Amino acid sequence: MSTVHDTTRELEIQQALRELRTRLSGSLIEPHDPLYEEARAVWNGMVDLRPRAVVRAGAVADIDAVLDAVRHSGLALAVRGGGHNVAGHGSVEGGLVLDLGPLKRVDVDAGSRLVTVEPGATLADVDRATAAHNLAVPLGVISGTGVAGLTLGGGVGWLTRSNGLTLDNLESVDVVTATGEHLHASGQQNPELFWGLRGGGGNFGVASSFTFRARPLPPEPLGGNLFYRREHWRSALLAFAEWTRDLPEEMNPIVSFLVFPAEFGMGGDPWMVIGFAWVAEDQQAGLALADRLRAAAPPDEEEVGPAPWTTWQSAMDSAFPKGSRGYWKNVSFSRLDAEAVDVLLSFASELAWEGTGIDIHHLEGAFGRVPEDATAFPNRSARYWLNVYGFWRDPAEDERLTAFARKAYALMQPFAEHGEYVNFLGAEVGLKGVDAAREAYGPEKFERLVALKDRYDPQNVFRLNHNIPPTRAPS
């Protein structure tokens, strides 16, 4: 009987794929296709999955065709925007991948500062379009990241203190649900769905269009990096903690620990870097703030000055090439006193290899003024967010470097606050099932997200993500 069932199912899948091919504006790529190996790859080289087929969308209407094929075939669905998600959710073993990457259009209305973005656009696509009008949408820090996944999960980057998360600057989003319903979600239309889309990831449908409100930006904002050798890390980090106590929100700093790739010309030693973006017109005020930090913690090297926004946003791209093997862990916290600094440096000081970095994002400002229950993002009260991220190439390093990230995460738990940022979570959270999402969002937000899942995706079609399962999971 099982053989008959398998044969019948295979015929249904083949028929669904044939019909899908006739409806597509884009292309259907199967394992025999010369483009298959390229089409199935995502950023994280540790994710080596073989989909039954990959659809490269040619138009938004292809979303409907793919969802129909999923309903008729029973194939598992993975939705991919930029493909940069560290957990590798943009692929699926034996299922169907909807690759929205070709849909990259960005329209800027300079008068209203509204920016409409297709779901395959990357940060670079948006930055190029907005910079021409001296505008910027608050995004992340690597320009190859997809805007869709970044937005649905949060969006921490170089404008977080001055302007909030990417999702805080989202005016509306168009969504196609599992049943093919087209919905517009905003503060006025489907507001509860809009709440869940801002932080709840891709759990409720396929986002087909985003509209953001951009912020004015000087033609060449002031940016800087202060570099410290290992022997100066503790004093510099304590000085940074003091500096951030009364920092104007126009100053957006990120502390990083890493060994730079050879092309950066920084040698093979580990560095601590205090990077900052000052986004106000008065650059002298920004320089004066930098001078305060410089006086308290004289850097070993530095680079400070105005730079085009597109240059600043893409400065670290080469450190994260596609195919890097990635594993990330994150912790929100507010203490950066001597005890917390000593714990941070206990693992940061172990870094002696290229392929792992540690970032500390300083928050507060516009990020912290958003009420805790306004979006599904898990924590608005934390002063800092730590991300331990891997970007190595050698599979032989997988065990050692994932263990390092787990160790750092464990050591920070005495200082940890509630919630985890899903865009900084690796693939292993899937092994924890429902508990992973519950821990990430916290019990109250998790239950509210489950109610949305029950309403918009009760069959859990959109499950290849940091999944929020419906109350009654399909049998």
Q: What is the mean pLDDT of residues 371-384?
A: 97
Q: How confident is the model at residue 431 (pLDDT cuts 50, 70, 90)?
A: very low
Alpha helices per DSSP H over 77-190: 123-131, 147-153, 160-163
- Tens-place pLDDT, residues 103-149: 999 999 999 999 999 999 999 999 999 999 999 999 999 999 999 99
Question: Which structural domain, as residue segments, surrounds residue 282?
Answer: 222-429
Domain boundary, last residue among 47, 68, 99: 99
Q: How confident is the model at residue 275 (pLDDT cuts 50, 70, 90)?
A: very high
Q: Are residues 293 and 237 in the same domain?
A: yes
Q: What is each CA distance from 63 to 103, 113, 432, in whole angstroms? A: 11, 28, 30
* Per-residue model confidence (pLDDT) at position 433: 52
Q: Are residues 226 and 213 in the same domain?
A: no
pTM, full prediction: 0.95
Q: Are residues 158 and 202 in the same domain?
A: yes
* Per-residue model confidence (pLDDT) at position 426: 83
CA angle (360 as vertex; 432, 336 as ends), nearest 5? 105
Q: What is the mean pLDDT of residues 286-309?
A: 97
- Tens-place pLDDT, residues 50-108: 999 999 999 999 999 999 999 999 999 999 999 999 999 999 999 999 999 999 999 99
pLDDT of 314 over the 90 cut: yes
In a domain, 436, yes or no: no
Q: Are residues 268 and 160 in the same domain?
A: no
In a domain, 434, yes or no: no
Q: Are residues 295 and 406 in the same domain?
A: yes
Q: Are residues 351 and 240 in the same domain?
A: yes
Domain boundary, last residue among 46, 81, 99: 99
Q: How confident is the model at residue 474 (pLDDT cuts 50, 70, 90)?
A: low
Cβ atoms of residues 56 and 101 within 8 Å: yes
Q: Residue 257 — φ and ψ, nearest 5°? A: -120, 125
CATH of the domain at 266: 3.40.462.20
pLDDT of 4 over the 70 cut: no
What is the number of domains present in the chain? Answer: 3
Could you tell me the strand order of the sheet in which 53-56 lies?
27-29, 53-56, 96-99, 77-80
Cα 92 from Cα 90, distance rounded (Å): 7
% residues pLDDT > 70 (the chain): 97
Q: Are residues 239 and 212 in the same domain?
A: no
Q: Give the mean pLDDT of the chain.
A: 95
Q: Are residues 245 and 277 in the same domain?
A: yes
Cβ atoms of residues 363 and 138 within 8 Å: no
In a domain, 437, yes or no: no
Cα 140 from Cα 382, distance rounded (Å): 18
CATH of the domain at 121: 3.30.465.10
CATH of the domain at 47: 3.30.43.10
Between 7 and 239, whose confidence is greater?
Answer: 239
Q: Are residues 195 and 278 in the same domain?
A: no
Q: Are residues 85 and 203 in the same domain?
A: no
Domain boundary, last residue among 81, 99, 117: 99
- If you ran DSSP here, which 8-state letter would residue 237 be given? H
In a domain, 81, yes or no: yes
Q: Which helix (H) or strand (E) holds 351?
A: none
Other Cβ atoms less than 10 A from the Cβ of 33: the count is 14
In a domain, 16, yes or no: yes
- Tens-place pLDDT, residues 145-188: 999 999 999 999 999 999 999 999 999 999 999 999 999 999 99
pLDDT of 1 over the 60 cut: no
Q: Are residues 232 and 284 in the same domain?
A: yes
CA angle (437 as vertex; 434, 439 as ends), nearest 5? 105
Cβ atoms of residues 85 and 42 within 8 Å: yes
Cα 337 from Cα 82, distance rounded (Å): 38
Between 263 and 456, whose confidence is greater?
Answer: 456
Nearest to 46, CA basis, from 326, 322, 320:
326
Q: Are residues 193 and 325 in the same domain?
A: no
- Tens-place pLDDT, residues 318-330: 889 899 999 999 9
Q: What is each CA distance from 315 to 5, 149, 308, 320, 399, in whole angstroms? A: 53, 21, 11, 11, 29
